[in-house]
Chains A and B, each alone.
Chain A
Amino acid sequence: MEQAATTEQKRQKSPTMTLLFEAQKIGKTFTRKNGETIEALVDLSLKLKPGSLIALVGPDASGKTTFLRIVAGLLTPSSGSLHFDGQSYAGQCPKVLSQIGYMPQKFGLYEDLTVQENLDLYADLKNVPRASRPKRYARLLELCAMTPFTQKLAGKLSGGMKQKLGLICTLIAPPKLLLLDEPTVGVDPLSRRELWEIISELQAESKMSVLVSTSYLNEAEACAEVLLLFEGHTLAQGPPLGLCQLAAGKSFLLPANAPTCPRDLQAWLLDQPEVIDAVPQAGDVRVIGHRNEQNNSCLSAAKMVPPRLEDSFMLLLKQQMGNVALAAQQAIAQVATPPRSAQEPVICTEHVSRHFGDFVAVNDVSFSVFPGEVFGLLGPNGAGKTTTFRMLCGLLAATSGSLRVAGIDVRKTPAEARRHIGYVAQKFSLYGPLSVLENLEFFAGAYGLQGARRRQRIAQVIDDFQLTDWLGIAAQELPGGWQRSLAMAVGLLHEPEILFLDEPTSGADPLSRRIFWKRIAALASQGVTVVVTTHFMEEAEYCDHILIQDGGIRLAFGSPAEIRAEAQKLNPDVTSMDDAFIAIVEKARSQKS
């Protein structure tokens, strides 16, 4: 009684009244099968005012999803308390749940139902009054430009469309609090922009609060507040501008001079002691580091620039991870780039088309890739990238045109061509129940590695990817980042001449993306050709050549600088790759319609 009375008093006195949601010292521990306990969250506290937008950022396994699930009532916290609208809850509480919208990372659309049926289902599940539905449907469908597709099966939509549909299903009953778990993973920049427009428009309309986890730091930068998690601990919390100041005076821009490509410059910079982080940006390299005026530092020529959130993020994380991250980066040996001579192209496609019934997925696309090149295949969701990719790997036959990979006609002898390629799928696609070592051994066998060479190669990739501690763990139980490493390790087991990577960095945090690209740079310098698709447009900067595709048609082809220059012709404001991409695709789409 007494306790109830005091909380009542507190509620009246304290400013909680104006708070929509409050989490106090939330902790969560899990117990693994082997009895080991893991602290997924430690003393996380968060206050949300109505109409606020807060981002959760942090590397893999930092507890972002766990926290969102706790807020959504799917998990019960081990300690701490949750209040929603002044009401305390933990776990299932229908009254609270009906006012919270939660969109999980892998949103549960029923793929065998149509768009309209999915909408109806979620409207019913959330008790949306029938009278208000037509208006709400029309508004939401219009927002995401899906009005013509209501009778389509959800399973037949492209990745970006699915994500948008998931979002409007979550929003069908206007929630007071919207929880989004990595809503933009695997979504192209155009759709990503649209998603955020939908969110901000609805937020302006209804004053809902949004809690979003994301690995895109430029998205987080647009939020009112950012919460940086690391291994369940809160590393930093506050408005993004404040957080950016952590890196004040440490951010520089270093121009890459003509013969050196930014990728190689970045790789070299990362090995310098005073450099904390380096990343290519619009033809230059952005560096975070301590400029030491005395000695002749590599940063003395660099221009100081205003810091951004990603800089602080890298700074904080590297402080935390210290040697671990360093070791991972340095494990990748950098080889001096051999001079690139004009050779025969290693991949050569001419007038390739692929039809699915009446639908033309790829329409008359031609391009060449030379040995040792990093080649980027970009395009919005549903642009035909995956189809092109699958044709190159021999998983899909082309309807017409010629495809030569490593000098072999893929249409004639796909098995022969496959021997020369490594392939890393977008979705984790190794054998989940098998352990890391068993997966490696199987694929070594599948690529025909035998005897001493097999042992040597397996040992080599285990060493390269630092998998030693995980060898006995089932692949499906690995944290996401390690799954990506394992998939790469498998793709590289047989030392392929060409490596195909389908969205290898989607959902990865900036730190692991740095490590990934450093590895790619190293491979390219060894003469391996890398073909990669990505939705992180700034990653296109790592590529030697880029092909932008939409609607199955080739829109642009060239080096990053050439693409940017081309986009600038369309729109002089273009500076970043993101902008360039959007300008080119939108131009093509407006011409088409």
Chain B
Amino acid sequence: MSFLKRSFFSDVLTVVHKELLMILKDKRSRIILVMPILVQTILFGYVDTYNLNCVEYALLDEDKSHSSRLLTAAFDGSSIFVRTATLQNSTQIADILDEKKALLVVHIASGFERLLVNKKRAPVQILIDGRNSNVGSTAAAYAQEIIQNFSRSPAGKHTPWISIEKRAWFNPNLETRWGIVPALTALLAVIQVLSIAGQSIAREKEQGTFDQLLVTPLSPGAILLGKTLPPVLVGLVQSSLVLLAALWIFQIPFAGSFFLLYLALLIFNFAVVGIGLSVSAFSQNMQQAMLYNFSLLMPMILLSGFATPISSMPWGFQIATLANPVRYGVELAQRIYLEGAPFSQIFPLLWPLALMACLGFACAAYLFKVKL
């Protein structure tokens, strides 16, 4: 059949078309590719915040003086503190905190006003539930600020000879959401891109279609590439959904270039698919592919710097994150989105990803050929 002019390109397209059909044919899987992404973006955008905008507190005012009422009013008047209980004596404190009825207790001991009038230090006890140390320390800082402001001389905020100006670049109000939602463009897609790539070869093995595919004259390269592009496409579509939510629902200003963002996401998705395909070629059946992929996914997400800063990790873990594609994806998405980083600045993040993509494919191709 030498008259059949075979071109690599059309072979790849053929496989891509089939893979897309396999992924998108079932209505249930179409839903599972779109709905969770949207729900999670919205949910995490609203829920996942380190900004404390509501601190429930309980008051124990043993002084019951003018000053203590003023201080109480300062707490109640703040937009953050919400009083959930007013205590009568200090034996109640333990109960309130234990049962999580309040995150902190403000305890004004009797003699508070007297100490103030006598120009002495007047302590106010803040008892905090430290079970979540992060929330606890943030709440403590807020309470301290209110108490400091209360006793600050009206003359000025700082000592007069200096003025301090605080500025946060790229996120002036320091909203957690501004950091998280752009990061989600890369992060959320990983989960399903890895799953789709992971099952693509394993499923053919389990269902016996692999042989049928291999007896066709398609070259292993064309099959592999054909299996790569669909999850990459799905990943880009999912990222776009998150991007739209970031722009329209959360109204986070986009500072960078869309071209660069998509270039970064593209390379990122290739790197992730490379890992997924390697696992898939290695696994004997779908169950193995899914479980191994998941065992990789968890550490990759946790060590991405998404939930906790990489700079707070110990040295060894910081080194380990260098081999984690998700780390680069998250940082790229944030930097392009929020900072508008130009190509020259993101290049140091792009080349490791590109390298990982190449290694991933070399590995997948090797495993794939070994099976032949």
- B6 at the binding interface (Cβ < 8 Å): yes
A434 touches B211 (CB 8 A): no
Known: A395-B211, A445-B14. A415 touches B219 (CB 8 A): yes
- B255 at the binding interface (Cβ < 8 Å): no
Task: Tell me the complex Cα distance, A394–B6, Å.
Answer: 19
Task: Tell me the complex Cα distance, A419–B2, Å.
Answer: 9
A446 touches B14 (CB 8 A): yes
A429 touches B1 (CB 8 A): no
Q: Which residues of A (482-499) have their CB < 8 Å from a CB of B?
A: 490, 494-495
Q: How large is the interface on A (under 10, 10 to 19, 20 to 34, 35 or more residues)?
A: 20 to 34
B207 touches A448 (CB 8 A): no
Q: Which residues of A (428-464) have their CB < 8 Å from a CB of B?
A: 428-434, 438, 441-443, 445-450
Give B337-372 as 1s and 0s: 1 = Cβ < 8 Å from A's Cβ atoms. 000000000000000000000000000000000001
A425 touches B18 (CB 8 A): no
Q: Which residues of A (414-429) have their CB < 8 Å from a CB of B?
A: 415-416, 418-421, 423, 425, 427-429
Q: Interface on chain A toward B: helix, strand, loop, or mixed SS?
A: loop
- Taking a contact as CB atoms closer than 8 A, the residue among B1, B11, B14, B372 that contacts A419 in the complex is B1
Smallest CB–CB gap between A394 and chain B, Å?
A: 7
Q: Which residues of B (209-232) have their CB < 8 Å from a CB of A?
A: 209, 211-219
B17 touches A445 (CB 8 A): yes
Task: Tell me the complex Cα distance, A495–B1, Å.
Answer: 9
Q: Which residues of B (21-67) have their CB < 8 Å from a CB of A?
A: 21-22, 25-26
A446 touches B218 (CB 8 A): yes
- Taking a contact as CB atoms closer than 8 A, the residue among B17, B25, B208 that contacts A427 in the complex is B208
B217 touches A447 (CB 8 A): yes
B21 touches A445 (CB 8 A): no
Smallest CB–CB gap between B9 and chain A, Å?
A: 12
Smallest CB–CB gap between B33 and chain A, Å?
A: 15
Smallest CB–CB gap between A353 and chain B, Å?
A: 19
Q: A449 — which chain B residues lie within 8 A by C-beta?
A: 4
- A299 at the binding interface (Cβ < 8 Å): no
Add 20 more A-B contacts to A395-B211, A416-B217, A434-B22 (CB < 8 A).
A390-B211, A395-B372, A418-B215, A423-B215, A425-B211, A428-B208, A429-B208, A430-B212, A433-B21, A434-B25, A438-B21, A442-B21, A445-B11, A445-B14, A446-B213, A447-B4, A447-B216, A447-B217, A450-B5, A490-B212
Known: A429-B209, A442-B14, A446-B14. A415 touches B21 (CB 8 A): no
Task: Tell me the complex Cα distance, A423–B212, Å.
Answer: 7
- A393 at the binding interface (Cβ < 8 Å): yes
Please, which residue of chain B has its CB at the minimum distance from the CB of A476? B207
Q: B5 — which chain A residues lie within 8 A by C-beta?
A: 448, 450
B18 touches A431 (CB 8 A): yes
Interface of A with B (CB < 8 Å)? Answer: 390, 393-395, 415-416, 418-421, 423, 425, 427-434, 438, 441-443, 445-450, 474, 490, 494-495
- B264 at the binding interface (Cβ < 8 Å): no
- B140 at the binding interface (Cβ < 8 Å): no
Q: A394 — which chain B residues lie within 8 A by C-beta?
A: 214-215
B216 touches A446 (CB 8 A): yes
Task: Tell me the complex Cα distance, A415–B211, Å.
Answer: 13
- B124 at the binding interface (Cβ < 8 Å): no
Smallest CB–CB gap between A223 and chain B, Å?
A: 33
Please, which residue of chain A has its CB at the minimum distance from the CB of B18? A442
B26 touches A429 (CB 8 A): no
Task: Tell me the complex Cα distance, A580–B213, Å.
Answer: 37
Task: Tell me the complex Cα distance, A428–B208, Å.
Answer: 8
- The contact sample of 11 A-B pairs, CB cut-off 8 A, is A394-B215, A395-B372, A415-B219, A430-B209, A431-B21, A434-B25, A438-B18, A442-B21, A445-B13, A445-B14, A490-B212
Smallest CB–CB gap between B30 and chain A, Å?
A: 12
B214 touches A446 (CB 8 A): no
Please, which residue of chain A has its CB at the minimum distance from the CB of B214? A395
- B15 at the binding interface (Cβ < 8 Å): yes
Task: Tell me the complex Cα distance, A434–B204, Å.
Answer: 13
Smallest CB–CB gap between B196 and chain A, Å?
A: 14
Task: Tell me the complex Cα distance, A123–B298, Å.
Answer: 41
B11 touches A448 (CB 8 A): yes
Please, which residue of chain A has its CB at the minimum distance from the CB of B14? A445
Give B230-270 as 1s and 0s: 1 = Cβ < 8 Å from A's Cβ atoms. 00000000000000000000000000000000000000000
- Taking a contact as CB atoms closer than 8 A, the residue among B6, B14, B22, B217 that contacts A431 in the complex is B22
